Structure 1
Amino acid sequence: MHPIITISGTPGSGKSTIAKALVEKYNAKRVYAGGMWRQMAKDRGLTLIELQEAMANNPQVDIEVDKKASQEAYKLAKDNIVIAEGRVLYHFIPESIKLFIKVDTEEGAKRIWLSLQKEENKTKRNEANVSSLKELIEKTKERKASNIARYTKFYNTDHTDESHYDFVLDTTRINAEQATQKVIDFIDKKLK
C-alpha cells in the first residue's frame, strides 16, 4: 500500500490549496471529504453551514461521508499516494501521515471572503450566505465550534487537538507557496 497523507485543519487555512499542490508534486490521488459535504448540502438546497447545523445531533451524514472518504483513500492507496482531505480522516486512517493546517480565525475568514468575491467560487464553496466580512468571521467561529462539538460527540475526538498529528503548520503569517513548501519538506523526510 502506498502512503496516505491526511490533511485536517481550520477554515481558510489553505488545506485545499496545499492538498492540490501535493497531488501535483507526488502525482497522487485526492480524496476530499469537504467536497462530499458541499455536494450533499447543494443537493438538499442548503449552504454548508446550514447542513452542518441540521446535522448537529444526527451523526448519519458525518459517518457516511467519513466512511466513504476513508474507504476511497484505502482503495486508491493500492496504486497511488493519496492525499485525503477531511477534518477527522486522521481518526479513520490512523497509519496515515497526519497534517494539521491552522490559521487565526479572522485571517481564515478574510481568505474565504476574498475567495467568495469571485463569482465561480460562491457556488463551488457553498459557504454561508453572508453580506460582510464581519458576518463571515462570526459564521466561521460558529462553524469551528460546531465541528469540534460534532466530532467530539460522534467520534470522541477533537480534531483541533494537535497531539493527533505528525505535523502542524500555522499559515496565519505565511503565503500559500511558503506553506506548501514547509509541508513538502516534512513529507519528503517522512517518505525517505
Structure 2
Amino acid sequence: MDSITIGGLPGSGTTTVAKILKEKLDLPHVYAGDMFREMAKEYGMTLSEFGSYCEKHPEIDKELDKKQEMILALGNVILEGRLAGWISYRNGIPAFKIWLECDEDERVRRVMEREGGKFEDVRAQIREREKSEKKRYSDFYEIDMDDTSIYDIVIDTTDIRPEEVVEKIMEKMKEMKSQGNL
C-alpha cells in the first residue's frame, strides 16, 4: 500500500483520525507537528515564536520538508502534517491525500479541551499560527492553503465523530482501489 497523508488546520481532528487509521490499517503514524515542536524546543522558543522565526528562515521548513519527503518515499506510512499532501503531490510520491476541515469555533473548543486556556486566547493563538503558516507556505512554496484540489478526499469534521470520518476515508479508498486509482 502507498502512503496516506492527512492534513488540516489545528483542531480539525487530524491526529485523532490518524491514530484510528493507524490501528485499522496497521501502518506507522508520523506526525510532522512533533518534528516542528521538537525543533522549536531545540531553539528554546514557543511554537508561536518559532513560527515567526521560520517566516524569516525558510531553511527550517525546507529541512522539515526533506524529512517528510524521505518518510513518504519509503511508503506504507501515515504522514500527518499541514503540507504532507502537497509534499506528496509536488514530488510525485504516490499517496492517498486527506484534508480535514472544521468550523473555527469547534476547532477552538477542541484545542481548549486538549490544551486548556480561555476561548478568545486560544482563538487568537490559532489565528496567529494559521496566519504565520499561510504566509510561509505562500512565500516559500507558492502554495495556497485554501486550494484543496490536490486531495483525494476533503471532509468537514465539525459535526461528525472521528469514527465516521474514518468510515468516509475507508469508503473513498475502497472506491479508488476498485477503479485502479490507488
Same fold (TM over 0.5): yes
- The structure-2 alpha-carbon separation of the partners of 1:161 and 1:169, relative to structure 1 and needing over 3 Å to count, comes to same
Verify: 1:49 aligned to 2:44, yes or no. no
Counterpart pick for 2:139 among 147, 153, 173: 153
Paired with 1:188 and 1:35, the residues of 2 have a C-alpha distance of: 30
Matches of 1:13 and 1:84, distance apart in 2: 16
CA distance in structure 2 between the aligned counterparts of 1:29 and 1:160, rounded to whole angstroms: 28
* Residue identity in the other structure for 1:133: F
Number of residue pairs the alignment of both structures matches: 174
> Alpha-carbon deviation of 1:183?
1.8
Instruction: Quote how far apart the aligned CAs of 1:109 are.
Output: 1.2
Q: State the Cα distance separating 1:43 from its structure 2 match.
A: 2.1
What is the TM-score when the length of structure 2 is the normalising length?
Answer: 0.89
Query: Paired residue for 1:84, among 69, 79, 86?
Result: 79
Q: Which whole-Å deviations, capped at 9, do the CAs of 1:130-176 have from their partners, x for residues lacking one?
A: x4111111111121121111111111112331112111001111122
| Unmatched segments (≥5 aa) in structure 1 | 118-130
What is the Cα deviation at residue 69 of structure 1?
1.4
TM-score (norm 1): 0.84
| Residue number in structure 2 paired with 1:116 | 115
1:13 has 2:16 as partner = no
Q: Please tell me the residue identity of whatever aligns with 2:83.
A: V
Which letter maps to 1:137? R
Residues 130-169 of structure 1: pairs in structure 2 closer than 5 A? 131-169=117-155
Q: CA deviation at 1:58?
A: 1.5
> 1:162 is matched by which residue type in structure 2?
T
Kindly, what percent of the aligned residue pairs are identical? 35
Letter in 1 for 2:128: E
Q: Provide the C-alpha distance between the structure 1 equivalents of 2:177 and 2:20, rounded to a whole number of angstroms.
A: 17
SS in 2 for 1:7: strand
What RMSD in Å do the two structures reach over aligned CA positions? 1.5
Secondary structure of the residue that 2:55 maps to in structure 1? coil
**Residue of structure 2 equivalent to 1:174:** 160
Rounded Cα–Cα distance in structure 2 between residues aligned with 1:84 and 1:190: 19
Match of 1:126 in 2: none
Secondary structure in 2 matching 1:163: coil
Task: For structure 2, list consecutive stretches of 5 or more residues without a partner in the other structure.
Answer: none
